[in-house]
Structure 1
Amino acid sequence: MQTPSHSIASGARTAVRRRFLLASLLASLLASTGLFATPSHAQTSAEAAPRGTAIVIGGALKYDNDAVWKRIVDEAGGPGARFAVFATAAANPERSAGQIIEALQRQGARAEHIPVAPRLAGSDVAAAVRDPALLAKVNAAQGVFFSGGAQELIVDSLQPGGQPTPMLEAIWALYRRGGVVAGTSAGAAIMSSTMFRDAQDSLKVLKGQLRRGQEVDRGLGFVGPHLFIDQHFLKRGRIGRLLPLMQAEGYRLGLGVEENSAAVIKGEALEVIGARGVLLVDLSEARRDARLPAFNIRGVRLSFLDRGDRHHLGRGETTPSAAKRAGLKIDPRAPDFKPFVTQQPFLMDMLGDNTIANAMAQLIDSPFPEVLGLAFAGPRAVPVSASASAASATGSEPDSELGFEFRLYKGPDSLAWFTGALGGEDYTVLNLRLDVQPVRVQQPFYKAISPTP
């Protein structure tokens, strides 16, 4: 079943802009007179309705990626739409905001920097998030864009101690009236109710390092309480940190968004745009063995959704892109199935660059029932320093023999689509399964062969 397009026709865009202008004018007048009362935090929860459009960008968004930048502006009403740009997370807020504003304006938007940023020279964040003039600008906007950087700066600035500021309430009001909230990298991380605060090492998370206020924290929740978001996903091999968090926090659905790509989420409808795609992770049938001393999980359902694909989060239905539907459907159970991959790989680094997506494509287009791989740290994973403890004096990290076996395998409903029409070998892969279990990796893992005398 094909989900309807998210694109807004030109006539509809005009109507959307008129509604926004009327609502924004009223909000600005109320704010200027001091009568504007922002709703309570309960009303601004992720379950409030109606909701707008969340555009979740996996980071490293190129400024010439017109497919994403144009879509952001189109969803806010098209040329002339007003955007409030928050470079709150950025190391250099002025530069980051300027680049984002230029990219939005190239698509016809009217964008303005909202100076709420701890790293902005002379900034008083506590005052800025309550500034009536800045609040009026957000109230007059049809879209908000969050830059990349350090996501904890966004949450700590807009929701200190878990309490929403007037600025966050204004952003939620924009979203509830049908506006766009877009964010890249750090701006994507804050989209779910729980987020990774600072967890750069996926293997450490697999080994159990998942602490509140350190690796994990509250997000802002624009995609609702039931979907978890992670970014830079395939490039940085973040399947290793996504699974433990989802299991620990009770998430059924997770979405790992790749770099220079985006998920456009409107209610339960999702569309993938940009350079590549997203990994959809479903734990509804997953289970763990409590007898094992480390993280483990069985029966994870994985789907790789490529650019142009659509998915309904509630019904679990995927509609591949037109290019995929015009290409090759791959059904391993079909009598005429002709696999392309003829050698069964063993993957030495399941947390490597794009490894999980490549493994899914290789498996679905092969005659083999499964693909195995490992995630572990070698004996030189931790640099030796003058202050190193005796345990790490050899260059090994704590519990360096602990690794994880990833078993990716086909299920009864696994299938895929392939196209070469876009200039590469592009797959959409649905409903593979994944088991992860702890293993002991021998150290050293290998030995050099000595020359014979």
Structure 2
Amino acid sequence: MLSGAGIQAAEALAIKGSLVIIGGNLRADNAAVWERIVQLAGGKGARIAVFASASAYPETTGMSNVERLDKYGADAFFVPVAVKLAGVDYKAMADDPEVAAAVRGAGGAYFAGGDQERITRALKHPDGSNTLVLDALWDMYRRGGVIAGSSAGAAIMSSTMFGAPKPVLATLKLGVADGHEITPGLGFIGDDVFVDQHLLVRGRFARMLPAMLKKGYKLGLGIDENTAMVVSPNRDVEVVGYKGALLIDLANASAQDGPFNVANVRLSYLDNGDRFNIATRSFTPSPDKADGKLDPAKPYYREPLFSADILGNSTVVDLMAKLIDSDQQDAIGLTLGSPHGVQPDLGFEFKFSRTSDSVGYQSSTTDAYSVYNVRLDIRPILIRRPLYQYK
């Protein structure tokens, strides 16, 4: 009899399709991502079902994405299954055999951004069972089609997604609850990987940790804006686009009770062109970094590394890049919050450390870094209020 992991591996192998998971704000001129979606759907003339189920204005959003996909060579069509679509019974559409047949016969599907709970509300029955259209999506994906999604369309890729989350720092302080901050997703990537989006721009890597610990995930993938993770049938993840993705590994992490406190998280930054295989846990740097492995004996940075706002735009990646190319053993980041916010006396220290497994690569053509297997420890700190001026 197969173990739980064996069953999961067998199910993954049964899927012949691919995923394109986009962190949000995908620009019209990001040809690398749009063209990959069309290619994976079958190439020029590929039929792609466009879902604007998450949008507050589904028809406008849907038709805009249809036009964009057509510009890149697809033959896209709008699927009228959306909670906010005026004059349409979305429940009836989600169980309409003709709509389901059109989706099943497509080479791919694209989910636009908005509110991800609108997607699950539209495609799942109240009892949690699949609608005909969701069954059709799964059938298309298993047979070799591509499912792409941006922002909210990325959030639904894992079996658990953020529903109505608090701000990142408040999430660290107060945690997450089932049915509120976190809710069921559609699980196209499998039950073993947690996915989040808008990751680096909004400092969301930190909110992934409480959610992953709550639900028992060991692996998390967070993708930044205007960037995609392309997941192939063999579970190979390739980063394509403007920025990159963070991989969070909790296989050997330990958490303590009380205020959020976790040790031995492994954090990796995958830049454009990098690959990571979910099944083998192996990294492959992009071709322009293949010969750029950093020599710890020849560091570039030679001063203590610190950030007073670790949740700032891309701060975590900047600090990791400096650490891996530094003579320092660790780097410190803080997040404190407003004196008028929730639990104002509580902050957190993020300690990033190089270990024997840590490795970095630098591009031969740009100053971009890839950083694998940095240790992260987060501990609560007490902030003395009020803050006094130095005399």
TM range (shorter): over 0.9
Query: For residue 341 of structure 1, what is the amino acid of its counterpart?
Result: Y
SS in 2 for 1:270: strand
* Correspondence for 1:215: 181
* Correspondence for 2:376: 434
* Structure 2: distance between partners of 1:234 and 1:212: 25
Tell whether the 8 Å contact from 2:157 to 2:187 is kept in structure 1 after alignment. Answer: yes
SS in 1 for 2:231: strand
* Correspondence for 2:338: 378
Tell whether the 8 Å contact from 2:305 to 2:330 is kept in structure 1 after alignment. Answer: no
Match of 1:270 among 226, 237, 243: 237
* Correspondence for 2:4: none
Aligned residues: 382
* Structure 1: distance between partners of 2:88 and 2:175: 34
SS in 1 for 2:109: strand
Instruction: After TM superposition, give the deviation of residue 448 of structure 1 in Å.
Output: 6.5
1:136-190 deviation per Cα after TM superposition (whole angstroms, max 9, x unaligned): 2112201000000000000111113322111111111111111100000000000
The question of 1:94 aligning with 2:36 is answered: no
Tell whether the 8 Å contact from 1:141 to 1:174 is kept in structure 2 after alignment. Answer: yes
1:271-308 deviation per Cα after TM superposition (whole angstroms, max 9, x unaligned): 11011110011000111223xx2111100011101111
SS in 2 for 1:85: strand
* Correspondence for 1:84: 49
Tell whether the 8 Å contact from 2:227 to 2:239 is kept in structure 1 after alignment. Answer: yes
* Structure 2: distance between partners of 1:317 and 1:345: 28
Give the gaps of 5 or more residues in structure 2: 1-6
Match of 1:324 among 285, 289, 308: 289
SS in 1 for 2:170: helix
Instruction: After TM superposition, give the deviation of residue 248 of structure 1 in Å.
Output: 1.0
Give the gaps of 5 or more residues in structure 1: 1-41, 380-395
Instruction: After TM superposition, give the deviation of residue 378 of structure 1 in Å.
Output: 2.1
1:333-366 deviation per Cα after TM superposition (whole angstroms, max 9, x unaligned): xxxx221122223211111111111110011111
Tell whether the 8 Å contact from 2:83 to 2:121 is kept in structure 1 after alignment. Answer: no
* Correspondence for 2:346: 402
SS in 1 for 2:356: strand
Query: For residue 244 of structure 2, what is the amino acid of its counterpart?
Result: G
* Correspondence for 2:190: 224
Instruction: After TM superposition, give the deviation of residue 230 of structure 1 in Å.
Output: 0.3
SS in 2 for 1:262: strand
Tell whether the 8 Å contact from 2:21 to 2:230 is kept in structure 1 after alignment. Answer: yes
Query: For residue 73 of structure 2, what is the amino acid of its counterpart?
Result: G
Tell whether the 8 Å contact from 1:144 to 1:181 is kept in structure 2 after alignment. Answer: yes
Q: Judge which range, 77-86 or 370-379, deviates more.
A: 370-379
The question of 1:300 aligning with 2:265 is answered: yes
Tell whether the 8 Å contact from 2:355 to 2:375 is kept in structure 1 after alignment. Answer: yes
* Correspondence for 1:169: 135
SS in 1 for 2:98: helix
The question of 1:241 aligning with 2:207 is answered: yes
Instruction: After TM superposition, give the deviation of residue 421 of structure 1 in Å.
Output: 1.3
Task: Please identify the structure whose Cα radius of gyration is greater.
Answer: 1
Tell me how large the CA RMSD over aligned residues is.
1.8
* Correspondence for 1:312: 277
* Structure 1: distance between partners of 2:198 and 2:15: 29
Change over 3 Å in CA distance of 1:446–1:433 after alignment to 2:
farther
The question of 1:363 aligning with 2:305 is answered: no
Match of 1:183 among 143, 149, 152: 149
Q: Give me the identity figure in percent.
A: 45
1:97-122 deviation per Cα after TM superposition (whole angstroms, max 9, x unaligned): 12211221122110000011111211
* Structure 1: distance between partners of 2:11 and 2:86: 33
Change over 3 Å in CA distance of 1:181–1:351 after alignment to 2:
same
* Structure 2: distance between partners of 1:275 and 1:236: 15
SS in 2 for 1:272: strand
Q: Judge which range, 108-117 or 199-208, deviates more.
A: 199-208
* Structure 2: distance between partners of 1:282 and 1:107: 36
SS in 1 for 2:174: coil
Change over 3 Å in CA distance of 1:349–1:110 after alignment to 2:
same
Change over 3 Å in CA distance of 1:446–1:172 after alignment to 2:
farther
The question of 1:342 aligning with 2:302 is answered: yes
Tell whether the 8 Å contact from 2:227 to 2:240 is kept in structure 1 after alignment. Answer: yes
* Correspondence for 1:23: none
Q: Judge which range, 118-127 or 357-366, deviates more.
A: 118-127
SS in 2 for 1:167: helix
1:250-289 deviation per Cα after TM superposition (whole angstroms, max 9, x unaligned): 1010001010000011232111101111001100011122
* Correspondence for 2:25: 60
* Structure 1: distance between partners of 2:388 and 2:220: 36
Query: For residue 254 of structure 1, what is the amino acid of its counterpart?
Result: G
Match of 1:445 among 364, 384, 387: 387
Change over 3 Å in CA distance of 1:121–1:359 after alignment to 2:
same
1:399-431 deviation per Cα after TM superposition (whole angstroms, max 9, x unaligned): 211111100110111111112514xx2001011
SS in 2 for 1:413: coil
Instruction: After TM superposition, give the deviation of residue 46 of structure 1 in Å.
Output: 6.6
Instruction: After TM superposition, give the deviation of residue 92 of structure 1 in Å.
Output: 1.6
1:50-86 deviation per Cα after TM superposition (whole angstroms, max 9, x unaligned): 3410110010100110000000111111111100000
* Structure 2: distance between partners of 1:405 and 1:254: 21
Tell whether the 8 Å contact from 1:46 to 1:222 is kept in structure 2 after alignment. Answer: no
The question of 1:134 aligning with 2:99 is answered: yes
Instruction: After TM superposition, give the deviation of residue 132 of structure 1 in Å.
Output: 2.2
Change over 3 Å in CA distance of 1:357–1:364 after alignment to 2:
same
Tell whether the 8 Å contact from 1:130 to 1:167 is kept in structure 2 after alignment. Answer: yes
Change over 3 Å in CA distance of 1:107–1:402 after alignment to 2:
same
* Correspondence for 2:312: 352
Change over 3 Å in CA distance of 1:176–1:168 after alignment to 2:
same
Change over 3 Å in CA distance of 1:106–1:244 after alignment to 2:
same
Match of 2:168 among 180, 202, 222: 202
* Structure 2: distance between partners of 1:80 and 1:186: 26
Query: For residue 331 of structure 1, what is the amino acid of its counterpart?
Result: D
* Structure 2: distance between partners of 1:163 and 1:447: 59
